[in-house]
C-alpha cells in the first residue's frame, strides 16, 4: 500500500515535455505522464493566414522546385524560431533542445498554392495560448509579442529593422542575422523577391529580397564579436522567473543580463539581490557597438579594487576602426616622414647596384 505507480501515455514520435496528472487508486498514488508532440496537441490553437508571394522564379507560374521551396521554408522557420526566442528569452540561440512552446509556435501549415505569381498560403498559430503570461508580461528589458501575434509577426519586425539598418533594434541579434543570411542562396537573382502578406494583420506585410539580405550581412559584419568581460555594479532588478537581471553601473548606466544556466543558477542570483556584485560573463553587442546584454556565468560580491569594472564593456566596431584609420591617414605628413631619409651621400652608381641585387 502507498506504492507509487507510473503509467506513461506517449504519442508516436513524441518530442515534447511531460505533462503529469496524479490520483489515488486503491491506496496507491498513480501518476499518468502524457508526452505529446507539441503544445498544440492539447487544444486547437487559433491561426493567422499569410500569403507568401514569390516573384522572379525561373519557372512557370504556380510552380516551384521542391528543393527551392524546402530551403526557403526551412530558412523562414529558422528566422521565426530565433526571432521569437530572442524576444521571449533575451537570446536567439540557447544550448539544448528548443522548448516545446517554440516548436509549437513555429509549426506553420502550408495550406495551398495559388496562381498569378507563385503564392503559398500559410497559417501560423497565434502565441496567446502557447506563451500564456509571457505574451502579456513586459519587463524592464524585453517587449514580448502582443496577444494575437504569431512567430511571423516577429519575423516581420526583424526584417523591417534589418532593412532599415536600425542599429539599436530589439528584434535581431547575431543569431537572427545569421538565419536571415541563410536565405541568400534562395535569392540567386536580384529580380527574385518574396512578399509576406496578411489581410488579417496588414501592418506585418514585408518584402524580402537579395538587397534586404545584403543589409543584414552588413549589420552582421558591423556587429562586434561577443567577448567575456568582468562587469561590476548594483544588482537592483530581477525579472521573469529570475533568469534576467539588471546592473546599475557607477555612472548610472544600465546593463541588462540573463543567467547562463550552464554555469550558474537563479538561486545564486537571488542571494546577491540589492548588493554590489561583480559578474563574469559573455557580453553581446549591437551593431552600434552598444551592449545588448551580458550572459552571466558567475556572480560574486564586489571586492575592493573592482571599481575599475564599473564601466560599460566596449569593443571597437569595424566602422569605428575604419574611421580612425582614415583620420590617422589624413593627419600624417608622408612627405615630412620620408624627407631627409634619402641617402644622398652615396653615389648613384652604388644605388643602382643595390637595386639589381
118 and 157 belong to one structural domain = yes
CA atoms within 13 A on the CB side of 185: 13
Domain encompassing residue 292: 227-309
pLDDT score recorded for residue 91: 84
Asked whether residue 253 is domain-assigned, the answer is: yes
Is pLDDT above 60 for 276?
yes
| Phi–psi pair at 244, nearest 5 degrees | -120, 155
212 and 87 belong to one structural domain = yes
180 and 243 belong to one structural domain = no
What mean pLDDT value characterizes the chain? 78
pLDDT digits (tens, 9 = 90+) for 28-37: 443 333 344 4
Q: Which residue has the higher pLDDT, 116 or 85?
A: 85
Per the CB < 8 A criterion, the answer to whether 176 and 81 are in contact is no
**Is the alpha carbon torsion for 101, 155, 95, 144 positive or negative?**
negative
25 and 51 belong to one structural domain = no
| Phi–psi pair at 167, nearest 5 degrees | -75, -10
Alpha helices in 16-143 (DSSP H): 66-89, 100-105, 128-131, 133-136
Beta strands 118-125 and 193-197 are unpaired
Per the CB < 8 A criterion, the answer to whether 79 and 177 are in contact is no
Tally of domains within the chain:
3
Instruction: Pick the range with the lowest mean pLDDT from 146-155, 198-207, 268-277.
Output: 268-277
* pTM of full prediction above 0.75: no
56 and 176 belong to one structural domain = yes
Q: Maximum CA pair distance of the chain?
A: 113
268 and 160 belong to one structural domain = no
pLDDT score recorded for residue 10: 35
Asked whether residue 111 is domain-assigned, the answer is: yes
Asked whether residue 246 is domain-assigned, the answer is: yes
Instruction: Pick the range with the lowest mean pLDDT from 116-125, 168-177, 263-272, 321-330.
Output: 321-330
Per the CB < 8 A criterion, the answer to whether 215 and 162 are in contact is yes
pLDDT score recorded for residue 89: 81
Asked whether residue 330 is domain-assigned, the answer is: no
pLDDT-derived band of residue 345, with 50, 70 and 90 as boundaries? low
pLDDT score recorded for residue 33: 39
Q: What is the mean pLDDT of residues 39-48?
A: 65
- Provide DSSP, 2-29: --EEEEEEE-TT--S-EEEEEEEETTEE
Which residues make Cβ contacts (< 8 Å) with residue 111, sequence separation at least 6? 49, 121, 122, 123
pLDDT score recorded for residue 323: 59
Give the bridge partners for 50, in sequence order. 122
Q: What percent of the chain has pLDDT over 70?
A: 71
Q: What is the mean pLDDT of residues 11-17?
A: 37
Q: What is the mean pLDDT of residues 296-301?
A: 91
Is pLDDT above 90 for 74?
yes
Asked whether residue 315 is domain-assigned, the answer is: no
Q: What percent of the chain has pLDDT over 90?
A: 41
pLDDT score recorded for residue 219: 95
Per the CB < 8 A criterion, the answer to whether 235 and 274 are in contact is yes
Asked whether residue 274 is domain-assigned, the answer is: yes
pLDDT score recorded for residue 352: 55
Per the CB < 8 A criterion, the answer to whether 174 and 25 are in contact is no
100 and 164 belong to one structural domain = yes
Give the bridge partners for 347, in sequence order. none
pLDDT digits (tens, 9 = 90+) for 260-271: 888 887 777 888
Asked whether residue 302 is domain-assigned, the answer is: yes
Asked whether residue 27 is domain-assigned, the answer is: yes
Amino acid at each position: 500500500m502507498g506504492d507509487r505507480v507510473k503509467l506513461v501515455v506517449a504519442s508516436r514520435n513524441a518530442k515534447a515535455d511531460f505533462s503529469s496528472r496524479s490520483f489515488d487508486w486503491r491506496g496507491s498514488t498513480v501518476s499518468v505522464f502524457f508526452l505529446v508532440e507539441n503544445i498544440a496537441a492539447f487544444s486547437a490553437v487559433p491561426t493567422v493566414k499569410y500569403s507568401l508571394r514569390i516573384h522572379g522564379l525561373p519557372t512557370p507560374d504556380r510552380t516551384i522546385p521542391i528543393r527551392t521551396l524546402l530551403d526557403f521554408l526551412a530558412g523562414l522557420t529558422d528566422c521565426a524560431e530565433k526571432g521569437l526566442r530572442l524576444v521571449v528569452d533575451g537570446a536567439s540561440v540557447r544550448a539544448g533542445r528548443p522548448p516545446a512552446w517554440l516548436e509549437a509556435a513555429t509549426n506553420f501549415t502550408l495550406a495551398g498554392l495559388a496562381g498569378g505569381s507563385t503564392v503559398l498560403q500559410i497559417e501560423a498559430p497565434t502565441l496567446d495560448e502557447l506563451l500564456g503570461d509571457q505574451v502579456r508580461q513586459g519587463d524592464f528589458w524585453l517587449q514580448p509579442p502582443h496577444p494575437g501575434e504569431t512567430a511571423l509577426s516577429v519575423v516581420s519586425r526583424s526584417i523591417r529593422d534589418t532593412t532599415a539598418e536600425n542599429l539599436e533594434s530589439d528584434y535581431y541579434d547575431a543569431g537572427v542575422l545569421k538565419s536571415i543570411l541563410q536565405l541568400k542562396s534562395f535569392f540567386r537573382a536580384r529580380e527574385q523577391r518574396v512578399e509576406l502578406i496578411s489581410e488579417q494583420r496588414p501592418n506585418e506585410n514585408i518584402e524580402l529580397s537579395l538587397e534586404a539580405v545584403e543589409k543584414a550581412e552588413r549589420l552582421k559584419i558591423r556587429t562586434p564579436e561577443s567577448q567575456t568581460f568582468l562587469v561590476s555594479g548594483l544588482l537592483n532588478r530581477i525579472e521573469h522567473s529570475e533568469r534576467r537581471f539588471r546592473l546599475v553601473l557607477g555612472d548610472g548606466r544600465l546593463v541588462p543580463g540573463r543567467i547562463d544556466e550552464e554555469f550558474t543558477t537563479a538561486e545564486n542570483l537571488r542571494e546577491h539581490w540589492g548588493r554590489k556584485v561583480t559578474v563574469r560573463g559573455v557580453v553581446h553587442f549591437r551593431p552600434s557597438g552598444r551592449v545588448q546584454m551580458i550572459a552571466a556565468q558567475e556572480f560574486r560580491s564586489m571586492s575592493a579594487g573592482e571599481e575599475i569594472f564599473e564601466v560599460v564593456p566596449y569593443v571597437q566596431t569595424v566602422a569605428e576602426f575604419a574611421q580612425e584609420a582614415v583620420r590617422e591617414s589624413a593627419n600624417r605628413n608622408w612627405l615630412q616622414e620620408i624627407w631627409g631619409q634619402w641617402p644622398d651621400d652615396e653615389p648613384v652608381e652604388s644605388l643602382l647596384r643595390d637595386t639589381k641585387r
